[in-house]
Amino acid sequence: MSERIRVLVVDDSALMRKLIPAILARDSSIEVVGTAMDGAFALKKIEELRPDVVTLDLEMPRMDGMETLRLIMRRAPLPVILFSTHSKEGGYSTFKALALGAVDFVAKPKDAAAGRLEEIADQLIAKIKVAKRAAGRKLPPAVIVDDSPLPKKGIRTALPPRRVIAIGISTGGPNALQYVLSQIPADFQSTILIVQHMPEGFTEMFAKRLDECCALEVHEARSGDLLLAGRVLICPGNRHIMVRRMPRGDMAVLSDGPPVNGHRPSADVLFHSVAQEFGLTAVGVLMTGMGDDGSEGLGAIKAAGGMTMAQSEDTCVVSGMPRAAILKGYANKIIPLDGVAAFLVQHYGAERSGTERIAVGQGATEKTEKHDKLEKNDKHDKSEKNDKNEKIERTPVSSQRS
């Protein structure tokens, strides 16, 4: 039998320090070795008890969770799972703490003070196990978001996207997405839709944080949002996101369908929709996360002739999702985290000039046969038919959000 996962529970609430260990005791592979009422006590207990994983409440007196996390990461880095509240302040603190090195977070139920933690029990146990496996994994460099007002982004002409890029991501996603999107320039000619496994109430704050740190326009998606070049849409928590081709423009559509693979939102739902609607011009990217959500959808994009990519396992916090797709042969390319943005910009970021099309054609040796055919067709833009298509494709459309 493998060694049990040693957990230290840090929370200023005496009730939480009683309930959380009781929940974790249900799993025989987890052992709560101690509790602490604030950060100062926690740091002493870490030295004394040597836990494998720490659960950390962010809102505590004396030494709060943020300062505690900074000191943990500075002195002896450990996997940390955060407890966060459903509030604007709680959401902001959570994403800041993830950037400092926390592995993941669990949202406290709104009635947690009444002792109701049942709804997060399985989630907390699963995340502690993932955190233990992620120990020692190097996180992407933090992208510092300054609290000072940022210059307003310039208004760009609303144009249809060159490609529709769908990204599925879970554990380790907030840092990875911030790292990737911050490297993509404002004149990016494709649109990006993202399914990030995240509780309801946090995705709006997450989208705002991403919008602050990158040149692209980032929003939490709403039904009817147009798919535009340079726009990034984050699927809201507890909803599914799909795409539709409509007379007034290609757009995002949200649904309340049942969970898929245990998730809502689900990457599979988005990927299947993108494959069906866009086929050859679809791009699927599966990144860090536990489980296998998105693998079959990535296979659908590949079967439709689109480009599929998986983040390399060694650069993931948790490699379950991309690994599942790689093992099934659904990934055309396997790319490390620090190469994802460069690949997207090089192949789908610029205007389709003749020079760029030739470069793409020469560098696309790993693409499917259908996708190679699409890239070669792009080279014949001097023909009358393609000139006509190009004029239609680049006609400005309304950028107003419904």
Catalytic sites, residue numbers:
170, 197, 293
CA distances from 310 to 223, 268, 324, 362, 365 (A): 28, 14, 10, 21, 16
Question: Do the beta carbons of residue 323 and residue 177 sit within 8 Å?
Answer: no
Torsion of CA 95, 99, 100, 105, to 10 degrees: 50
Cα–Cα distance for residue pair 277/206, rounded to 1 Å: 27
Residues 6+ apart with CB under 8 A from 187: 156, 230, 349, 350
Region at 371 (left for phi over 0; alpha for psi -120 to 50; beta for the rest): alpha
Residues 6+ apart with CB under 8 A from 336: 311, 312, 314, 315
